[in-house]
Amino acid sequence: MPKGYIIGHISVTDPDAYAEYVRRDTPILESYGGRFIVRGGASEAPEGPVKDRHVVIEFPSFEAARAAFHSPEYQEVAEIRRRTSESDIILVEGAE
């Protein structure tokens, strides 16, 4: 079964408040089997416009990624991200 991923491209507009999102989202996503494989760090955009921060979270399956993202507990915390950043979030199934 292919793994699932939540991929975020984010430009933080309120770093102090965004830190609360990072603190609270981690245990929720990990409880669904999520593992952060990219979280910020150096990046380069050789083509096209991009946001400042990139996050990739790997899950055991696409269904697990969807369940984590759509869970009520994550959606409550995601409101912090929505208020403190501009973000594009993508759920994707990995290759087998």
Residue-range domain boundaries for the chain: 4-43+50-93
Per-residue pLDDT tens for 70-83?
999 999 999 999 99
pTM recorded for the entire structure: 0.92
One DSSP character per residue, 4-70 reads EEEEEEEEES-HHHHHHHHHHHHHHHHHTT-EEEEES-----SSS---SEEEEEEESSHHHHHHHHH
Per-residue pLDDT tens for 8-53?
999 999 999 999 999 999 999 999 999 999 998 889 889 988 899 9
CATH topology of domain 4-43+50-93: Alpha-Beta Plaits (3.30.70)
